[in-house]
Amino acid sequence: MKSGIGIGLIGLGTVGSGVVKLLGENAGVISRRLGAEVMLVKAADLDASRAKALKLSKDIYTKNADDVINNPDIDIVIELIGGYRPAKEFILSALKNGKPVVTANKALLAMHGEEIFSASEKYGAPVGFEASVGGGIPIIGAIKQGIAANNIQSIYGIINGTSNYILTKMTDEGREFDDVLDEAKALGYAEADPTFDVEGIDPAHKLAILANIAYGTPINFPDIYTEGISNILPEDIRYARELGFKIKLLAIAKLKDGEIEARVHPTMLPEDYLIAKVDGVFNAIYVVGDALGPAMFYGRGAGDMPTASAVVSDVIDISRDILCGKSGRTPVASFRKGNRKKLSVMPIDKVRCRYYMRFTALDHPGVLSKISGILGRHDISISSVIQHGRDAGSAVPIVVMTHGAVERNVRKALAKIDGLDVISAKTVVIRVEGEE
């Protein structure tokens, strides 16, 4: 049996630096669990100052990723540069060399996962991607192993800490989106370009990965309906509270009649739901399995050490197989090659849920009956209505909560309602999860 595992790291940014620290600080417990040492053989980054800050020796630091990928002393390659190129080439080259890969690269897996999974199977080299979803939360391992006996019925994820931080502050302090976003940037939570976080792209990348391994189907990011939080207003958060709901940016995947629902959008959740209580930068993934029932995985979805925890857990898992001379024990995409099948993804038009609608209507007699008449003719039943105060002759908000309705009907009804001369602004719509 080998006495040590050689690691090569590409990328010494936040997570890469965390991995270097964790391999050093927790070397004792890691080697006791593994029965072998994990040694950092090479670490590549174009920026030498990062290696200097980590006090990496000249033997270990390199500017050239090829020194990692083609190094015979390296058993596992860790890719932590993010983005599509050259990360994809590095991963494919490492796999071609028969080297297992560990990555946190959610965007790459959500766009090119199938190519990477196929290469992994072809060259018999595993790919670990625990850190790609939910930072330190071990949700990939849970789906691939811990709850593998279940048909997974649904997944609800708060899997973007930046947007959850913004919505939490807007809810708790009644502040505007732009104001809290500026604060999140100043605190280093949001990127200088926060588009991926606040427009739902980052959680949609993560949902593609979760749905892929939960349902054994090659679903990719473009298959996922995506809406962000940049249009959420404090007044909708206030109405949500009045109705007993909270607004969260939710990533939802469900298997229904052989079709997958996969969507990311602001969602109203009953405030007593466990996942509605997940606040700040924290992430949570609530999974319902047919045998298990509901289970919620909660923790830090970002940050150097939590994410490094997930990366190094993959290193340990793969090392165990290497030390036993085995590979391919757990299929890379959770289902055995050949047992995965393409499932169709339900178009958003077919989705059925409850809806919150905020109309801006002139305060005239008969306005509500016009609105409710159109909703009724589109098979949309109202569960409650709020109108505060009155302002005869001017526009006032009228808030309607519906029972379960089909999105196509909702869109058609709202196009008609927004065309009425008594409606003075585009109606705000937010999907609602919970009992119909």
**Residues recognised as catalytic:** 206
For strands 352-362 and 405-406, give the pairing. Answer: antiparallel
Partner residues linked to 42 by β-bridges: 8
Residue reference for tokens 């109405």: 239
CA-derived radius of gyration, the chain: 24
| Stretch in the footprint of ligand HSE (CB under 6 A) among 59-67, 145-153, 158-166, 417-425 | 158-166
Minimum distance from residue 160 beta carbon to ligand HSE (Å)? 4
Angle separating helix axes 304-324 and 27-34, nearest 10 degrees: 30
Closer residue to ligand HSE (CB): 300 or 354: 300
Q: Which of 244, 292, 245 is nearest to 268 (CA)?
A: 245
Site map for ligand HSE, 243-282, x if CB under 6 A?
----------------------------------------
Closer residue to ligand HSE (CB): 220 or 427: 220
| Stretch in the footprint of ligand HSE (CB under 6 A) among 16-24, 156-164, 232-240, 401-409 | 156-164
How many C-beta neighbours within 10 Å does residue 325 have? 8
226 makes contact with ligand HSE (CB under 6 A): no
Q: DSSP 3-state assignment of 168?
A: helix
The residue within the footprint of ligand HSE, chosen from 45, 75, 202, 236 (CB under 6 A), is 202
The residue within the footprint of ligand HSE, chosen from 62, 120, 160, 427 (CB under 6 A), is 160
Closer residue to ligand HSE (CB): 130 or 202: 202
Q: Which of 309, 317, 328 is nearest to 98 (CA)?
A: 328
Q: Is 320 left (phi over 0), alpha (psi -120 to 50) or beta?
A: alpha
Closer residue to ligand HSE (CB): 197 or 227: 197
Minimum distance from residue 164 beta carbon to ligand HSE (Å)? 8
Closer residue to ligand HSE (CB): 161 or 289: 161
306 makes contact with ligand HSE (CB under 6 A): no
Minimum distance from residue 17 beta carbon to ligand HSE (Å)? 15
130 makes contact with ligand HSE (CB under 6 A): no
The conformation of residue 347, written as its DSSP 8-state character, comes to: P
Judged by CB under 6 A, the number of residues near ligand HSE is: 7
Minimum distance from residue 105 beta carbon to ligand HSE (Å)? 10
Euclidean distance between the first and the last CA atom of the chain, given in angstroms as a whole number: 58
Six-digit token string for 91:
């991963």
DSSP per residue, 292-317: TEEEEEEEE-SSHHHHHHHHHHHHHH
Contact 245, 269 (CB under 8 A): yes
Minimum distance from residue 166 beta carbon to ligand HSE (Å)? 10
Closer residue to ligand HSE (CB): 202 or 236: 202
- Tell me how far CA of residue 323 lies from CA of 1, 31, 349, in angstroms: 6, 12, 50
| Stretch in the footprint of ligand HSE (CB under 6 A) among 20-28, 159-167, 316-324, 400-408 | 159-167
The conformation of residue 243, written as its DSSP 8-state character, comes to: T
| Stretch in the footprint of ligand HSE (CB under 6 A) among 85-93, 143-151, 155-163, 415-423 | 155-163
Closer residue to ligand HSE (CB): 209 or 322: 209
| Stretch in the footprint of ligand HSE (CB under 6 A) among 29-37, 160-168, 337-345, 412-420 | 160-168
Six-digit token string for 138:
């071990």
Minimum distance from residue 203 beta carbon to ligand HSE (Å)? 8
| Stretch in the footprint of ligand HSE (CB under 6 A) among 3-11, 68-76, 157-165, 366-374 | 157-165
Q: Which of 159, 164, 387 is nearest to 280 (CA)?
A: 164
DSSP per residue, 367-404: HHHHHHHHHHHTT--EEEEE--S--BTSEEEEEEEESS
Q: What are the φ and ψ backbone dihedral angles of 420, each rounded to 5 degrees? A: -70, 145
The residue within the footprint of ligand HSE, chosen from 301, 340, 348, 428 (CB under 6 A), is 301
Minimum distance from residue 390 beta carbon to ligand HSE (Å)? 42
302 makes contact with ligand HSE (CB under 6 A): yes
Q: What are the φ and ψ backbone dihedral angles of 368, each rounded to 5 degrees? A: -60, -35
Closer residue to ligand HSE (CB): 102 or 351: 102
Alpha helices in 174-200 (DSSP H): 177-186, 195-198
197 makes contact with ligand HSE (CB under 6 A): yes
Q: Which of residues 161-190 bind ligand HSE (CB under 6 A)?
A: 161-162
Query: Cα 66 vs. chain centroid, distance in angstroms?
Result: 31
Closer residue to ligand HSE (CB): 202 or 433: 202
Q: How many residues does the chain have?
A: 436
Binding site for ligand HSE (CB under 6 A): 160-162, 197, 202, 301-302
